[in-house]
């Protein structure tokens, strides 16, 4: 059944896309050909090109664990062998910066990923209400009964995420991770812990349609997870997918950030990205209708990354690629007066013009899907992080 079909054409188009993706997840024996034909007809009549800035049907939000911004930029710009060609392609064909920021107080894995998915700071910013932050500071394997709701900010009974917004609006969702501790998200948004769906038709409380966690090797790599991700996208065409690649962080802890081993781990991720882009471009439901966001949870120096006041730890990349994204643009050139390139500085959450943060990527993903912000979020809650130089359209008129 189609749900939440508003009168606007973008909403109708998104709902038709969702019919194919969500029913594929449920393995209902339907023919997607009539629905796809109607999608094509509507798209041809009303347009889904970059010129119209219509919402896309699919977003892949990627976190490359331990990907330091300045080191990545140097690898791209000195590359003569094509080892980082796909990162270079994202930069050339999309909008990017190598000077985005992590959370202000934490430069470790789980707290920053939670910020990406909830749009909240890790700890309470000075002078702000005690209901702003997510409060989950642990970075170890969570206990079997731990959730963000019972182990995070005690002033919040529920911490909503990108998965809540996408799922409750009828879109299909997936999380592909490569560290076991990411199970905290499955604990928090499964059928037992997820919030009731009060948006339109009831899609249930399980907010993540497919959760998969897989890695191998020493240091650990995401290669086994990558194979499952590509198959999942081809078979299910998820509307919203969050992906975690662990490789640079694993190599950094073992051999050091910027070491030959770390560089090889970044090269491996470049290969993953090439496979992902090839999958998108070879699939008629994904091609021309998918935006890819790439950022990181932290940088690193030496063999660690736990000093939030250290530029090497808090400086990360932020790249956006896909239809409607301005090719070759610096993201900071697209967002004044709402954002400010901090140089080497470390602005807190009270600055009038904040830097681009990884915590704003979730609300960007939702905006690209034509959806509103994460309830309770404060990072990019206005969804004014722009990926082109056109003035934003009023909601519902994308």
Please, what are the domains in the chain?
Answer: 56-368 (3.40.720.10)
**pLDDT (0 to 100) of residue 377:** 98
Residue pointed to by tokens 């299909």: 172
- Asked whether the predicted pLDDT for residue 4 surpasses 60, the reply is no
Residue percentage of the chain with pLDDT more than 70 = 84
Q: Give the mean model confidence (pLDDT) for residues 178-187.
A: 98
pLDDT band at 264 (very low <50, low <70, confident <90, very high): very high
- Taking 90 as the threshold, does the pLDDT of residue 187 lie above it? yes
Q: Distance between CA atoms of 14 and 24, rounded to whole angstroms?
A: 15
Mean pLDDT to the nearest integer, 62-87: 98
Question: Tokens representing 46?
Answer: 């009303």
Q: What is the DSSP string of 194-216?
A: SPP--SSS---S---SEEEE--B
Instruction: Say if CB 176 and CB 225 are below 8 A apart.
Output: yes
Q: In what order do the strands lie in the sheet with 290-295?
A: 210-213, 173-177, 240-245, 58-64, 290-295, 315-321, 95-101, 329-330
Whether the Cβ atoms of residue 357 and residue 103 lie closer than 8 Å to each other: yes
Confidence band of 44 (pLDDT split at 50, 70, 90): very low
What's the pTM value of the predicted model, to 2 decimals? 0.89
- pLDDT given for residue 53 in this prediction: 55
pLDDT at 393 exceeding the cut of 60: no
pLDDT > 70? residue 202? yes
Model confidence band, residue 336 (pLDDT cutoffs 50, 70, 90): confident
Given this model, what pLDDT does residue 19 score?
Answer: 52
Residue 49 has pLDDT above 60, yes or no: no
Q: Is the pLDDT of residue 352 over 60?
A: yes
Q: How confident is the model at residue 370 (pLDDT cuts 50, 70, 90)?
A: very high
Judged against a pLDDT cut of 50, whether residue 42 lies above it is answered with no
Confidence bin at 16 (pLDDT 50/70/90)? low
């Amino acid at each position: 059944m189609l749900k939440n079909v508003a009168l606007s054409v973008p909403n109708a188009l998104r709902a038709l896309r969702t019919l194919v993706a969500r029913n594929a997840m449920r393995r209902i024996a339907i023919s997607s050909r009539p629905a796809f034909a109607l999608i094509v007809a509507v798209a041809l009549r009303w347009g889904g090109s970059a010129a119209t800035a219509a919402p896309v049907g699919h977003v892949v939000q990627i976190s490359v664990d331990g990907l330091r911004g300045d080191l990545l930029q140097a690898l791209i710009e000195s590359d003569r062998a094509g080892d980082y060609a796909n990162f270079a392609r994202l930069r050339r064909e999309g909008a990017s910066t190598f000077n985005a920021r992590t959370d202000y107080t934490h430069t470790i894995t789980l707290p920053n990923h939670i910020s990406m998915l909830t749009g909240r700071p890790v700890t309470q910013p000075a002078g702000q209400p005690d209901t702003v932050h997510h409060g989950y500071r642990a970075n170890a394997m969570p206990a079997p009964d731990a959730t963000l709701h019972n182990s995070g900010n005690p002033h919040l009974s529920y911490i909503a995420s990108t998965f809540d917004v996408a799922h409750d609006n009828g879109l299909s969702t997936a999380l592909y991770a490569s560290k076991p501790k990411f199970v905290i998200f499955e604990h928090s948004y499964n059928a037992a812990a997820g919030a009731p769906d009060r948006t339109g038709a009831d899609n249930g409380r399980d907010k993540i349609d497919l959760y998969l966690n897989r890695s191998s090797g020493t240091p650990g790599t995401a290669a086994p997870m990558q194979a499952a991700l590509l198959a999942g996208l081809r078979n299910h065409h998820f509307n919203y997918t969050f992906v975690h690649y662990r490789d640079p962080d694993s190599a950094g802890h073992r051999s050091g950030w910027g070491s030959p081993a770390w560089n090889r781990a970044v090269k491996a991720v470049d290969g993953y990205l090439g496979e992902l882009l090839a999958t998108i471009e070879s699939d008629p439901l994904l091609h021309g209708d998918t935006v890819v966001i790439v950022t990181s949870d932290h940088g690193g120096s030496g063999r660690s990354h736990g000093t939030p006041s250290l530029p090497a730890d808090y400086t990360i990349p932020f790249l956006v690629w896909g239809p409607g994204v301005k090719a070759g643009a610096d993201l900071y050139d697209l967002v004044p007066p709402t954002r400010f390139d901090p140089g080497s500085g470390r602005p807190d959450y009270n600055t009038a013009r904040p830097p681009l943060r990884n915590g704003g990527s979730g609300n960007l993903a939702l905006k690209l899907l034509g959806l509103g912000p994460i309830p309770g979020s404060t990072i990019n809650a206005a969804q004014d992080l722009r990926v082109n130089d056109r003035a934003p359209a009023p909601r519902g008129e994308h």
